[in-house]
Amino acid sequence: MDSSAVTLGDAKINGRRDLHPNPVMITDTLSDVRIKYHINPKEIGHGHYGVVRKCMDRDTKVWYAIKSIRKSKVGKVDVLKREVALLKECDHPNIIQLVEVHEDQKYLHLITELCTGGELFDRIIEKTQSAEGHFSERDAAQLVRCILDAISYCHDQKGIVHRDLKPENFLFSSREEDAVIKIIDFGLSRHDDMQKGIMNTKVGTPYYVAPEVLNREYTKSCDIWSIGVITYILLCGYPPFYGDTDNQIFDSVRTARFDFPSPDWDGISDKAKDFICSLLKRDPSKRLTAREALNSPWITEYAGVKEPEKKEGRRRQRTSIALAPRSIAFMKYRDMQKLKKAALGWLAQNATNDDIEALKAVFKKIDVNNDGTITLQELDECLEDGECVCVVLGVYVCVAFSAVANSLFPLLCSKQHTFYQMLPRNYALLERIYPSLAKTLSIGVILLPL
């Protein structure tokens, strides 16, 4: 084995005895992924249960992505098995291709095609900050057509319901403007094999979740609702349903009332608005199916090769980059989600089960009224009493309290590890959210020397 066959994960972690002595098997056999693939040690992404790196097939020299999932951190093994099975089942140009699966004592490794173009969400933000302020109708229609084609394939040919369609779950194959878009995450997906296709598990993400999902009685049409929300965002840069907290967003979703405010929507065609309305019907039975949506007037007219000049002339370009309040709120929410995801990824990769239990104990100690959230008042009282303690994970510990859903979420990181090294970028995210970063307790970035 050459030196490029790096150990996945920290050596100390691999040697720890607190890990499950007899890990549950996800596949039927154990194998060493490093025999076939050279693995670049640099991480290119984080998840709740592991990290993503690049790897190269030693024979073909083709580069792929490898997602290494630490099995001891997976609470529901059946859910992971289901995701792997669904990915193996799918073969569509707009769905990430699962190339191979390897499993060793501690990790499950998913080798997929490598997508280097970034998330759809990031491109939405780039467009929001551009002179035009949003995707053109042609570009938006082409993206939505690809998404609809993939979901039509899932619904009609495979009987799969995705249940968590959102811009963060789409990657572009490359940085090119016309790069192929791919659905990448099937963690909440399942087969539509329930009685009459009715599901009742409350899953999804604020902004994109359908109202019937919140009521715990829904069908595959929940995916169509999410596509309607994504289409709306592509054309203006912010979602149709909004609020300052998750609960406020959910209340807005339940009403299913939205509008096309001026001047943001003045240059958007009536066909686009009609298309969105046909997907965001409160009654799921009245929504278009994915196949029907593919044949809608807006998709057939605008998703062609040429830009429709007569429609293009109606669009206005902004004279200055002045973001709408709803766009700013949307960006702040996403920034916090990225910070939260990075922290969870680090914890999943580095924290022991004892660390997690200790962190839960800290959270419960601060959460005086036991409502599952930490308010600024509770945090202030805790600090005044000198009881703000945290789990020791390294030479320094950073506790970043992020205001999500009107509560505070404790994020831990160690100076010795990746998340700490990401802090300059995360400081930038926090500065966007809190102008007085590191000046008051409310924004709460605290470095504790040990």
With 0-12 / 13-18 / 19 or more C-beta atoms within 10 angstroms meaning exposed / middle / buried, residue 177 is: exposed
| Look-up of token digits 């990430």 | 96
For residue 242, give the DSSP letter: -
Q: Residue type for 73, please?
A: K
Sequential DSSP letters for 247-308? HHHHHHHHHT-----TTTTTTS-HHHHHHHHHHS-SSGGGSPPHHHHHTSHHHHHHSSSS--
Helices (H) and strands (E) counted in the chain, each on its own, are: 17, 12
Sequential DSSP letters for 74-110? -S-HHHHHHHHHHHHH---TTB--EEEEEE-SSEEEE
Strands (E), 125-240: 160-161, 170-172, 181-183, 190-191
Q: Which of 18, 104, 122, 164 is catalytic?
A: 164
149 is annotated as an active-site residue:
no
Within 8 A by CB and 6+ apart from 55, the residues are: 33, 37, 38, 39, 40, 63, 64, 65, 66, 111
For residue 153, give the DSSP letter: I
Asked if residue 391 lies in contact with residue 398, where contact means CB atoms within 8 angstroms, the answer is: no
Residues annotated as catalytic (active site), given as ranges? 164
